[in-house]
Each structure stands twice: as structure tokens, then as C-alpha cells.
Amino acid sequence: MEKVCKIVKRQLVVSEGTKVCGSTNFSDLGANSLVKRQALLTVCNSKEQGASAPCL
């Protein structure tokens, strides 16, 4: 989960002090639907995801 959160944080250009964890909502980070989709695709396509990140 930590790797996925790191990717999402990088994709959304979240400020350094903002905490991103498994319970963080995309809306809380100011992401619109296009940004959410791009972040999800990046996670699913990333070699960093490992076997534990579920993707549709």
C-alpha cells in the first residue's frame, strides 16, 4: 500500500507535508475525475505496484 500511496502522491503533485494513506480520499486531495483516472492507470501500469495492488 505504501508504494501505491507514493505513486498517487507523486501523480497528484501533493505537497510535501500532506499525508496520503490507504484511507485518503482522492477528493480530499483535490483530484477531479480525470486526475483520478490518470493516477489509477499509473498505479496499474507501474512496475512499482508489486503483486498486492489490485487493478481492474
Range(s) of the domain holding residue 35: 2-49
Quick: pLDDT tens for 1-56. Answer: 888 888 888 888 888 888 888 888 888 888 888 888 888 888 888 755 554 555 54
Count up the domains in the chain and report the number. 1
Whether 56 is in a domain gets the answer no
- Residue 55 belongs to some domain of the structure: no
Confidence (pLDDT) at 35:
85
What does the H/E/C string look like for the chain? CHHHHHHHHHHCCCCCCCCCCCCCCHHHHCCCHHHHHHHHHHHHHCHHHCCCCCCC
Nearest-Å Rg of the Cα atoms of the chain is 11
Q: Coil, strand or helix: which one is 44?
A: helix
Report whether 29 contacts 18 (CB < 8 A). Answer: yes
pLDDT at 52: 54
How confident is the model at residue 32, as a pLDDT?
87
Asked whether residue 54 is domain-assigned, the answer is: no
